[in-house]
Amino acid sequence: MPETILEIDGLAAGYGDVQVLWDISLRVEAGAITCIVGSNGAGKTTLLRTISGLIAPRAGSIRLDGAEIGGADPDAVLGAGVAHVPEGRRLFRGLSVRDNLMLGAYLRRDRAQVARDLDFVMETFPILRERAGQDATTMSGGEQQMCAIGRGIMSAPRLLMIDELSLGLAPRLVETLGEALKEVNRTGLSILLVEQDVLTALDLASHGFVIETGRVTMTGASAQLAGDARIREAYMGL
């Protein structure tokens, strides 16, 4: 049986008086790309924000390699090995590409390995080496997404969570980013991908979960989900 890196059981979360997530339970396999798909407003972003400590869970547990991280603050979650690439990239205006990347390593003290990881990021996304001194927020959307993913990698995570990889990007750029993520995954890094573009997500991932109105409604191998008539009708227009 495949090893599990992230286990969520009975998770509930929300904002103020509004509950968004209801009894979420799922498993993320170590060393794999796993996707969470669903329509806009289904609760996908709220789930990632709860895992990363930006939102406190109201009930349930979140375990990384068996250790409870639910309710921990964001620095503690990052230190435990979970990096969150947020929707919209959230790069720092006025800072160079290199400086934005290095911010991902701010908790680290292994400077030699940090330098090696920076080289790896720039080899994976060569345009970032070319633009290393440029204000990161002046790059194209696709290049900014590469920088945001690279910043996540620079924290040396065990689990990299990416919220809306394809948002606002042309299909060709999405394909390029997808190939880069496969290369990153081949190093052994586990990836949890949240994506509104169901076809893209299921093409990249080996296993997927469907969230509707804050609940997991379907789960299975990506090929199985991609062939399901309900998924094809609801999300692919087929």
Residues 56-113 pLDDT 10s: 999 999 999 999 999 999 999 999 999 999 987 789 899 999 999 999 998 888 999 9
147, two tokens: 């920088």
pLDDT over 90 at 41, yes or no? no
Model's pTM, two decimal places? 0.93
Nearest one of 207, 104, 111, 204 to 146, comparing CA atoms: 104
Q: How far apart are CA 215 and CA 226, in angstroms?
A: 19
CA 109 centroid distance within chain: 24
Reduced to 3 states, what is the DSSP secondary structure of residue 36? strand
Domain boundaries, the chain: 1-81+163-238, 93-156
Q: What percent of the chain has pLDDT over 90?
A: 80
Mean pLDDT within 16-22: 95
Q: How confident is the model at residue 120 (pLDDT cuts 50, 70, 90)?
A: very high
DSSP 137: G
Q: What percent of the chain has pLDDT over 70?
A: 99
Q: How far apart are CA 23 and CA 32, in angstroms?
A: 24
Q: 150-192: per-residue pLDDT in tens?
A: 999 999 999 999 998 888 888 888 999 999 999 999 999 999 9
Q: How confident is the model at residue 21 (pLDDT cuts 50, 70, 90)?
A: very high
Mean pLDDT within 8-24: 96
| Amino acid 170: pLDDT | 86
Kindly report the number of other CB atoms within 10 A of residue 185's CB atom: 18
Q: Which CATH number is 1-81+163-238's, of 3.40.50.300, 3.60.15.10, 1.20.140.10, 3.40.50.970? A: 3.40.50.300
Q: Which residues contact 155 (CB under 8 A, 6 or more apart)?
A: 78, 83, 104, 105, 107, 108
User: Cβ(9)–Cβ(37) under 8 Å?
Assistant: no
Q: Label the pairing between strands 18-29 and 4-15.
A: antiparallel
* Average pLDDT of every residue of the chain: 93
Residue written as token pair 């790309």: 33
User: Cβ(181)–Cβ(171) under 8 Å?
Assistant: no
